[in-house]
Amino acid sequence: MSAPYDVLLRGAEVYDGLGSPPVQADIAFAGDRIAALGSLDAARATLDIDATGLSVAPGFIDAHTHDDLAALNQPDMGFKLLGGVTTCVVGNCGFGAAPFKEAMQLFDGLTPGLSVPHYDGHAGYAATVETVRPGVNIAALAGHGTLRLAAMGTADRQPEERELQHMKDALGEALDAGVFGLSSGLIYVPGRYSQTSELIELASDMRDSGALYATHMRDEGDGLLASVAEAIDIGEQAQVPVQISHHKASGRANWGRVTESLKLIELAQARGLDVHCDQYPYTAGSTILVAIIENGAFTGSAQGGIGTVGADDVVIAGAPGHPQWEGRTVAALAAEFGIPARAAALRVVEHAPGTTAIIHMMSEDDVQQVLRHPSTMIGSDGIPTVGGRPHLRLYNSFARVLGHYSRDLGVLSMADAIYRMTGFTANKFGLNGRGRIEIGAFADAVVFDAETLIDQGTFENPNRYPAGIVDVFVNGVASVRAGVSQTARAGRMLRRPGT
Ligand code: ZN
Ligand code: CU
């Protein structure tokens, strides 16, 4: 008799993560790998789980997160694991983990109560993740905003030659350290001051490296189509793959325009370009309040990147030191303060600079259209202000796609929906050996109840985990059992193939 396996999951409906319909099978883990699949009646294991009536999928890969420092600061990462996530792509929207000093500045609002040991560069960040061992795997992007802040502060101009070289050197360090690409955040300071040519110049340094360009575009409102064209242009000129982050049409005047933006993506793909997008499954977004102000909200004129958004549409999510403002709209605060909306928002930011807000700015039809489109992966874009009033997407994005949009509304099949959060994402980012249930793959897996799986919580009371996530394995280690985090801390720092 052969040696027992470490883990056996018996009798579940197994999704391979590549879009195939589920099959009933047993799965065995040995160490950190999937060792056997099929009918394993005679096999034995240290941890033997009867998963009859349940489903198994590869652990979900969150294509878009801001968990760079949460991974160090709240390393259990229960807020991700309990939603079935086993890998987080961090460093999005231009906010990267290095250089250290600038990262601390930019992450102030994204990770409250920040206290992180000093590290040098992306190599230092990777080493720190390995020392700390968070609960999920981490795949990092370098952030253009962080690089630019370090090279030239918040100057609103093109970089000088030596400043550009400073950014290129830092990007080179990050690529050597194994990052999977470069992200930009073109509505934020300082990324918004960059021109297309600067981004092409930087992205060109990633040519042939396998790294991609991910972008929070300049304008998801009135300038949506020009922004998609810019993202594609950067990828085409630099000859690197492109990932359009949290794809949407923002502001009522722009609803329906995702039909055209998705068409632009299709046309680029037809020209042979590697262009895709990701999405969180809600009609509300969330970001730092200062960026909402800077992008022309509350003025009635959409000069910025989020379209026209009213003071009624913006709700304070986390206001460090001022919990009395959390959950209230900017309109309500303006009435209370007896001043105009923009002035009220400015007052909030002055007292609580890291304030985050939820913005109700999308249409349900658009959300479903983007979700249905074969170019779309799932990324939560969750801001880990755990304990405040974070957007529900932080915990619930994957359960909502599977339970609400797939099972209940039939927007896409379960196998397809799972593919968009596992195999598809692993292929796009180059997360080798992840995102699939097959022999030899890493044993990242989620066991769920397909009948009860659903997102929970409300915007008023958001700190709720989804229902129906039963067990979660990270690198073969049981990290959630029967819906309870095991604080196993089995995540790893992932590196781009070849580094
Ligand atoms: Zn973003
Ligand atoms: Cu983001």
Question: Do both 244 and 306 map to the same domain?
Answer: no
Question: Do both 336 and 456 map to the same domain?
Answer: no
490 found inside a domain:
no
Give me the domain span that covers residue 465.
5-57+436-485
Question: Do both 150 and 290 map to the same domain?
Answer: no
- Distance of CA 106 from the midpoint of ligand 2 (Å): 13
Question: Do both 308 and 446 map to the same domain?
Answer: no
**The pLDDT of residue 304:** 78
CA pair distance 443, 438, nearest whole angstrom: 9
- Distance of CA 185 from the midpoint of ligand 1 (Å): 6
- Gyration radius from the chain CA atoms: 22
Ligand nearest to the CA of 291: 1
Tokens 């690529």 correspond to 175
Rounded to an integer, the average pLDDT of 122-149 is 98
- Distance of CA 88 from the midpoint of ligand 2 (Å): 12
424 found inside a domain:
yes
Question: Do both 137 and 251 map to the same domain?
Answer: yes
Ligand nearest to the CA of 295: 1
Residue 261, beta-bridge partner list: none
**The pLDDT of residue 388:** 82
Ligand nearest to the CA of 65: 2
494 found inside a domain:
no
Longest dimension (CA), the chain: 78
Ligand nearest to the CA of 394: 2
Ligand nearest to the CA of 220: 1
Rounded to an integer, the average pLDDT of 315-338 is 94
**The pLDDT of residue 309:** 86
40 found inside a domain:
yes
Percent of the chain residues topping a pLDDT of 90: 92
Whether 1 shows a pLDDT value over 90: the answer reads no
Whether 297 shows a pLDDT value over 90: the answer reads no
Question: What distances in angstroms separate CA 191 from CA 13, 144, 153, 158, one per listed residue?
Answer: 45, 7, 11, 11
Question: Do both 247 and 111 map to the same domain?
Answer: yes
Structural domains in the chain (count)? 3
Of 309, 302, 265, nearest to 287 (Cα)? 309
- Distance of CA 45 from the midpoint of ligand 2 (Å): 41
Question: Do both 333 and 422 map to the same domain?
Answer: no
**The pLDDT of residue 386:** 83
At 211, is the pLDDT very low, low, confident or very high (cuts 50, 70, 90)?
Answer: very high
Question: Do both 277 and 292 map to the same domain?
Answer: no
**The pLDDT of residue 113:** 65
Of 372, 416, 390, 380, nearest to 326 (Cα)? 390
Q: pLDDT for 48-83, tens place per residue?
A: 999 999 999 999 999 999 999 999 999 999 999 999
CA pair distance 498, 178, nearest whole angstrom: 8
Question: Do both 413 and 352 map to the same domain?
Answer: no
Final residue of a structural domain among 334, 360, 386: 360
CA pair distance 386, 318, nearest whole angstrom: 9
CATH number at residue 232: 3.20.20.140
Question: Do both 130 and 145 map to the same domain?
Answer: yes
Q: pLDDT for 170-204, tens place per residue?
A: 999 999 999 999 999 999 999 999 999 999 999 99
Of 481, 474, 492, 478, nearest to 59 (Cα)? 474
492 found inside a domain:
no
Of 72, 75, 76, nearest to 97 (Cα)? 72
